[in-house]
Amino acid sequence: MDISEQAKKYVEKMVTGPGPGLSETDPEFVERFVNFAFDEVVNEESVKLDDRTRFLAIMATLLGCQGREEFKMILPAALNFGVKPEEIKEVVYQAVDYLGIGRVYPFLKSTNEILSARGIRLPLASAETTTKEDRLRKGNDAQIEIFGEKMRNSWENGPEEMKHINKWLADNCFGDYYTRKGLTLAEREMITFCFLLAQGGVEPQLKSHVAGNIRMGNSRGFLIKVVSQCLPYIGYPRSLTAIRMINEATDTK
């Protein structure tokens, strides 16, 4: 196999690959995939990201597309590239808001198994910053910071049948998760963007969270870098759709 030196170095640091035994059973595929994902994409100057951001985005994307086996290989690599266990856990926890526990539970179980195998004691230190009494207010404060004043007391507006869900969005989605330590609000909006772009079929929500990312300082150019670095894991159609939503949300032709 003709694997580039850059790809070899990257894979050696990851201590992982596209799958056990594939080098023997599918050498042509491995050569092309490894050179593309771990050299061409990683080193494309126009869309480079720092290692930590790249791995946070890739893990969120794999959760979104339900790539559990690849997630189990990427998680140790993320640790090797300096992503903290606390940050990994926050990505998995927040995924429940956008994917549901039915899809996230297997990833949480795999995360615990991998962290434990690395000698990391569980549970990790508490990252909570809210109580039952203040989670609604603090969650709504996070909504306002991300999406603007239109979100203030958002559960009081809109159709009657939506009020309970709008309240849950404030106290559960944002109050229980976005307020936690470990990731900034800008980073949480970035991983939410990844959950949505990877699962597909939720373009209205994706477009809304593009706007939230922009408000949090994650520029159009940054979001395109995120999509580009995640492309090997989700393919071209969902990547191109995500870029279209970025362009529509930013009025870019």
Contact predicate 229/50, CB 8 Å: no
Average pLDDT of the residues in 103-120: 97
pLDDT above 90 for 186: yes
Contact predicate 69/245, CB 8 Å: no
- Taken in order 71, 76, 79, 81, the sign of the CA dihedral is negative
CA-based Rg of the chain, rounded to a whole angstrom? 19
Q: What is the pLDDT of residues 54-68, one digit of tens each?
A: 999 999 999 999 999
Q: Tell me what percent of the residues of the chain surpass a pLDDT of 90.
A: 89
The mean of the pLDDT values for the chain is 95
Please tell me the distance from the alpha carbon of residue 226 to that of residue 233, in angstroms, as a whole number.
12
Q: What is the pLDDT of residues 30-51, one digit of tens each?
A: 999 999 999 999 999 999 999 9
Please tell me the distance from the alpha carbon of residue 2 to that of residue 62, in angstroms, as a whole number.
27
Q: What is the model's pLDDT at position 13?
A: 83
pLDDT above 70 for 122: yes
The secondary structure of residue 18, as a DSSP letter, is: S
pLDDT above 70 for 71: yes
- Taken in order 226, 232, 238, 244, the sign of the CA dihedral is positive
Indicate the pTM of the whole model.
0.94
Please tell me the distance from the alpha carbon of residue 244 to that of residue 130, in angstroms, as a whole number.
36
Q: Is the peptide bond before 85 cis (omega within 30 degrees of 0)?
A: no
Contact predicate 110/75, CB 8 Å: yes
Residue ranges covered by each domain of the chain: 130-179
Q: What is the model's pLDDT at position 15?
A: 63
Average pLDDT of the residues in 131-158: 96
Q: What is the model's pLDDT at position 178?
A: 98
The secondary structure of residue 247, as a DSSP letter, is: H
Tokens read off for 88 = 């990994």
Q: Which amino acid is at 31?
A: E
Q: What is the model's pLDDT at position 16?
A: 52
Q: Tell me what percent of the residues of the chain surpass a pLDDT of 70.
A: 97
